[in-house]
Chain A
Amino acid sequence: DAGVIQSPRHEVTEMGQEVTLRCKPISGHNSLFWYRQTMMRGLELLIYFNNNVPIDDSGMPEDRFSAKMPNASFSTLKIQPSEPRDSAVYFCATRGQPYEKLFFGSGTQLSVL
């Protein structure tokens, strides 16, 4: 398996633009997590899906953020409109069962100018 695949690896955009981050989980993994990492706050859980259903979105900072998982092999995290304070590395991670290891993608480095 190729692991968790995220795209793009880097995204530079201007304030106010829409940004869409993509994630392809490991085949067979039931749970998918979106995290944001910054120096100040470390890793923050944004939203968590189980069997394609959003379970906990309490970490989504504002209505500007939305996430979808239309099927078991694809998820998106959208920011509209983007702001400079959204600049961070966004990670997607997946696992099979709650007692199993979590596998991370390589992340998307987002810079909002």
Chain B
Amino acid sequence: KQEVTQIPAALSVPEGENLVLNCSFTDSAIYNLQWFRQDPGKGLTSLLLIQSSQREQTSGRLNASLDKSSGRSTLYIAASQPGDSATYLCAVVTGANSKLTFGKGITLSVRP
């Protein structure tokens, strides 16, 4: 059974800092991995999707990397801003049914 872990559960950083959010998964036979952002009281918004054959994806100040063999992904946020404050979740797609398994998320607070 696939398990996805995100540690720590919460993170507080000063504005401007570059930061890395980690995601690990137990079954390396994945199709892809997605990073999502969730603002309080809202649904999840997909930020980046990395296919299993890819090593990284970039969008603006965000860069996500994937090391499938070690079961790890990182989301790098450059020059963090207060508007980046949210919960960030990763999810992997595995199995014949292409199910997504989510981590519990990292709640990020960027202090002005």
Instruction: Tell me whether A34 is interfacial, beta carbon within 8 Å.
Output: no
Instruction: Tell me whether B99 is interfacial, beta carbon within 8 Å.
Output: yes
Contact: A48 with B102, CB < 8 Å?
no
Stretch in A11-19, A62-70, A71-79, A103-111 with 4+ CB within 8 Å of B: A103-111
Instruction: Tell me whether A61 is interfacial, beta carbon within 8 Å.
Output: no
Q: How many Cβ-Cβ contacts under 8 Å join chain A to chain B?
A: 49
Instruction: Tell me whether B23 is interfacial, beta carbon within 8 Å.
Output: no
The A interface is mostly helix, strand or loop, or mixed, namely: strand
Given contacts A98-B31, A99-B31, contact A56 B46 (CB under 8 A): no
Given contacts A43-B89, A48-B97, A99-B51, contact A104 B105 (CB under 8 A): no
The distance in angstroms between the C-alpha atoms of A31 and B99, with both chains bound, is 10
CB-CB under 8 A from B46, the residues of chain A are 101-103
For B49, give its contact among A48, A56, A101, A105 (CB under 8 Å).
Answer: A101
Given contacts A42-B102, A42-B104, A99-B51, contact A106 B43 (CB under 8 A): yes
Instruction: Tell me whether A113 is interfacial, beta carbon within 8 Å.
Output: no
Cβ < 8 Å to A, chain B residues 66-112: 89, 91, 93, 97-105
17 A-B residue pairings within 8 Å (CB atoms):
A4-B43, A31-B98, A33-B100, A45-B99, A48-B99, A56-B97, A98-B32, A98-B98, A99-B31, A99-B51, A100-B49, A101-B34, A102-B34, A102-B100, A104-B43, A104-B45, A106-B43
Interface residues of A (CB under 8 A from B): 4, 31, 33, 42-43, 45, 48, 50, 55-56, 91, 93, 98-107
